[in-house]
Structure 1
Amino acid sequence: MLTNTLVAHSSDTEKADFYKKTYLHLALSVLAFIGVETILLRTVPVEVIAMMFGQRYTWLLIIGVFWLASVLASRWSLSQSRSTQYFGLGFYIVLEAVIFLPLIYMAAATAGGQVIFQAAMLTIAMFAGLSIVAFTSKRDFSFLRNIMIIGGFIAIGLIVAGSIFGFDLGLWFSVGMVILASAGILYETNKLQNTYTTGQYVGASLQLFASIMLLFWYILRILMSRRS
């Protein structure tokens, strides 16, 4: 069973231990994502990857399954069972690797590995900067939740419409999604201090990982658009 003490009400030692475990799991999640993505790139046939982004309705189906599965993964990661928590985190990492497969393949094929590295470095820099702001600022970023919900529904609607009617959402949509992902990082970092209990570091790391991957996706798309 997990401890039920809120991080905000725990001792300084317990807080430090929670933050250390959360960010350690986050780092390990990123490394695991890289490992799984590398395996997929080497084993999945090119024809299957092409089908993922070549067929509009196939991509919509993938997004729908991913959304439902990510909800389940988030719930599992906050379970009272530690094994269920890790199952949820691992399941989500694999899902992200599958979703990223066509984008990473396209980036490597058209722009080379350099653009992927640049996107990763920009993502890390932005994540670090936003985390510092969230921890050092005395502002309560919980108000971002409603903005993220509304923005998320608008984004999903535009993605679905773009897939059905075959129009490109363009650079400014990617910029808007970078802003939305940045808001997510501020919100999730704020939650670390005010929402989670000291035993929920696996679930906390999953939520941060999700925001980082969203940020990385659209930074990579922006960099790719500049090279096309």
Structure 2
Amino acid sequence: MEFQSTLVSQSSEIEKAEFYKKTYLHVGLAILAFAGLEYLLLFNIPEDYIIAMVSNRISWLFILGLFWLGSTLANKWTLSQSKNVQYLGLLFYIVLEAVIFLPLIYMAIVYTNGIEVLKQAAIMTGMLFAGLTALAFFSNRDFSFLKNVIVIGGFLALGLIVVAAIFGFNLGLWFSLGMVILASASILYETQKLKDVYTPNQYVGASLQLFASIMLLFWYILRILSSRK
């Protein structure tokens, strides 16, 4: 199969519409796959194993490191010229997200208002994502400046997370609020990037980037709601 090198912004309106449809379809399927896999993990992984993931600071740092390395690899795969490799990358990333979310969702269910807090976090994430997507598509604003904000903010956040894990302190509500803002900026930037960076055949890679930003947003909204219970 020969891949197109023309960017989405240079493509016909029909090609653009097809690219957007496939991208958001894959985002939706990734979310459904994540939810299904998370359900299976919650009811098949022993509680002791789930708690052990976060009970030791060093083991949690190790898991975060593996997640980062795996995410980098998955992103590289989804931009491959092979469709099979692209889907392998997306599937691999969904598995990574399901594993990293496991202790957070377990604690949200066990120590807060059960499944209700998950529903609230999912609804809030979906509404915020829809609003940010509409803003990126229908406003004439240029969000490319957010790239530096996201990169710098990401490194600062990663540093704080590592320090907090090593010394055992809670980053608190303000950090979670800051990460919600950072994830929102990432959604705006990644949405605008769709037409300027990708070719019409790279909808799998584009969907991974959006899915990753949604999961980051969901993570910190869930943390905020869980901390209030």
* TM-score, structure 2 as length reference: 0.98
**Residue type of the partner of 2:70?**
A
Q: CA deviation at 1:152?
A: 0.4
Task: Please identify, of 2-11 and 83-92, the stretch whose mean Cα deviation from structure 2 is larger.
Answer: 2-11
Task: Name the residue aligned to 2:6.
Answer: 5
Distance 2:48 2:13 in 1: 53
Distance 2:54 2:158 in 1: 17
Q: CA deviation at 1:140?
A: 1.6
Distance 2:47 2:107 in 1: 11
Task: Name the residue aligned to 1:19.
Answer: 20
Structure 1 portions without partners, runs of 5+: none
Task: Name the residue aligned to 1:135.
Answer: 137
Task: Name the residue aligned to 1:161.
Answer: 163
Distance 2:6 2:95 in 1: 31
**Residue type of the partner of 1:48?**
Y
Structure 2 portions without partners, runs of 5+: none
Partner secondary structure for residue 144 of structure 2: helix
Partner secondary structure for residue 142 of structure 1: coil
Q: Write out aligned runs for 1:144-223 (5 A).
A: 144-223=146-225
Task: Name the residue aligned to 2:58.
Answer: 57
Q: CA deviation at 1:171?
A: 0.2
Partner secondary structure for residue 22 of structure 2: helix
Distance 1:71 1:144 in 2: 20
The sequence identity of aligned pairs, in percent, is 65
Q: CA deviation at 1:3?
A: 2.1
**Residue type of the partner of 1:83?**
N
Q: Write out aligned runs for 1:34-53 (5 A).
A: 34-53=35-54
Partner secondary structure for residue 169 of structure 2: coil
Task: Name the residue aligned to 2:74.
Answer: 73
Any idea what the Cα deviations from partners look like across 1:170-228, whole Å, max 9, x if unmatched? 0000000000000000000000121110000000000000000000000000001111x
Distance 2:195 2:131 in 1: 17
**Residue type of the partner of 1:223?**
L
**Residue type of the partner of 2:9?**
A
Distance 1:96 1:123 in 2: 16
Q: CA deviation at 1:143?
A: 1.0
Distance 2:80 2:142 in 1: 26
Partner secondary structure for residue 102 of structure 1: helix
Distance 1:213 1:3 in 2: 29
Q: Write out aligned runs for 1:116-135 (5 A).
A: 116-135=118-137
For the aligned residue pairs, the C-alpha RMSD in angstroms reads 0.6
Q: CA deviation at 1:53?
A: 1.1
Deviation beyond 4 Å, 4+ runs, structure 1: none
Distance 2:201 2:6 in 1: 8
**Residue type of the partner of 2:161?**
I
Distance 1:44 1:176 in 2: 32
Task: Name the residue aligned to 1:91.
Answer: 92
